[in-house]
Amino acid sequence: MATNKLLWSSKLIGVFFIMLVCTLSANAQFLRTSYFMEGTHYRQQLNPALTPTKGYFNLPVIGAVNATVGSTSLGYQDIIDIIDDGDDFYTKPDFMNRLKDNNKLNVNFSTEILSAGWYKGKNFWSFNIGLRTDIGANLTKNMFTFLNEMETVEENWRNSNYDISGQQLNINAYTEVGLGLSRQINNRLTVGARVKALLGIGNMELKLNKVAMNANLPSDARINQLQDPAYLSSLGVDDITKLRSEIEGYHANLAVDAHLESSFKGLNLKKEDGQDYISDFEFESKDMGIAGYGFGIDLGASYKIMDNLTVSASILDLGFISWSKSSTQIANAKAAGIDMKGSDYTSGIDPNNIPGSITAIENNIKDLQTDANGYMERVSGGDVLDYEMLQLRTEEASKSRKSRLASTLVLGAEYGFFNNKLAVGVLSTTRFVQPDALTELTFSANYRPKSWFNVALSYSAIQSAGKSFGLGLKLGPLFVGTDYMFLGKNSNSVNGFVGVSIPLGGRKANKEG
């Protein structure tokens, strides 16, 4: 591999996307378990109004590293199967049996390159520079069934009926530079906001809106027979009539409607010599850079209904990124289908003219064989992302494009005991990622006797299908946590968080204890 170049092969790119979504150490945007832990500042990622007991300075890069991987169907064992079986993972019955009709996969990534927070009077200020990535995919079981049967059933392409529409991939990566302010309005109400300048690294949207195929084609043995002079010379009037009807019944159809929009500097859509459609992706690392600019804002509030009962709400990542025209590439496949009709191969076949019909059959069957081989080459590649089948053709971007951030709605309520050192809470989060929103309901118990020592136990009921729990611990400058503890091969959602920060002065007097 060249120093500045990374090539993605057509055969492996589909597996790469699944591995990317399912196995990378990717980082989520927040940790739900930290929400009611008053001693930690990481809860401000979920609500800018929730101030910590002290200021802080996060160690660069390792100060806040957080990872979440989630799937509606695939678990740890599926990942092992993919690694062990390589390109043939979808031929394994166990893997196929675990799939749902639609399999949604999500990875979220964030790490703080530099961040700090401090008190000044009644205000709490914060500043951060961070890296954010959202990856989402929707893969249908029909697609894997198609790949499986094309791989395992000999010449299945000749008599097939598949609809593998609905595949989708979304990637959004950017750097944010944020400035936050939280203020205690009175003893009951605290409000907060964070404004963010966004530097776009890259954005990609790939949608296979329609990919459907249907075929009834003759076998090689039948084609050879129809080109055998001895067989043709034996045909009579009735035979010619039946043969004409047989040929009229042959057909092959491929309908493709796919759309790709990419805004990555350094990403090239390659074409092979003599082709006018994409044959591969190529990254030139030396050309990578800022591909767009945007703006975002977080808003939050916390209100004490009574001394022991507090409710809170926030809306995060309201904003967008505008991707420059120069870094944007567009490709479509709306005009790249196949429509073979048997009637196109019956010209000159006339029972009343047997010698002429024999010549016509020879010529028509030769054309039918050529077109059938072309259809086979289009549909039997065996790739998750099959460039030959899709034949995505590039076009000039006429203008810049925009992508919205994955906004999150957060609602929380907590009740405190023993002078607020022990608390129970319930938290609802709805994150509007692509291709579908992710909703979670988290219950937690929190013990927070000192600012340097907090511990929390949580249970998130939806994304892990009720099969996991969360844990958070703040011990001096170290914070570790998870919303979805890894519990073995059936885990569909897993995450982890680690942060190291240096406490700063300016602790508010009414927080002392």
* Position 92 confidence tier, pLDDT thresholds 50, 70, 90: confident
* Position 468 confidence tier, pLDDT thresholds 50, 70, 90: confident
For 438-458, what is the mean pLDDT?
A: 91
Q: Is it the case that residue 304 has pLDDT exceeding 90?
A: yes
Report the domain count for the chain.
1
Reading phi first (left if > 0) and then psi (alpha if -120 to 50, else beta), residue 379 is in alpha
Q: Which domain holds residue 112?
A: 5-511
247 neighbors 225 (Cβ within 8 angstroms): no
Place of tokens 């500045």: 4
User: Chain-wide mean pLDDT for the chain?
Assistant: 84
For 83-112, what is the mean pLDDT?
A: 75
Apex CA 493: angle with CA 425 and CA 88, to 5°? 175
For 448-476, what is the mean pLDDT?
A: 86
pLDDT of residue 432: 85
Q: Summarize pLDDT for 389-417 with one digit per residue, the tens.
A: 888 888 888 888 988 888 999 999 999 99
pLDDT of residue 134: 79
pLDDT of residue 79: 59
* Position 72 confidence tier, pLDDT thresholds 50, 70, 90: low
pLDDT of residue 88: 66
Residue 341 CB: number of other CB atoms within 10 A? Answer: 12
CATH number at residue 441: 2.40.160
* Position 110 confidence tier, pLDDT thresholds 50, 70, 90: confident
pLDDT of residue 510: 47
Q: Summarize pLDDT for 312-350 with one digit per residue, the tens.
A: 999 999 999 999 998 998 999 876 789 999 999 999 999
* Position 153 confidence tier, pLDDT thresholds 50, 70, 90: confident
Phi first, then psi, for residue 228 (nearest 5°) are -90, 115
407 neighbors 299 (Cβ within 8 angstroms): no
Residue 274 CB: number of other CB atoms within 10 A? Answer: 5
Q: Is it the case that residue 19 has pLDDT exceeding 50?
A: no
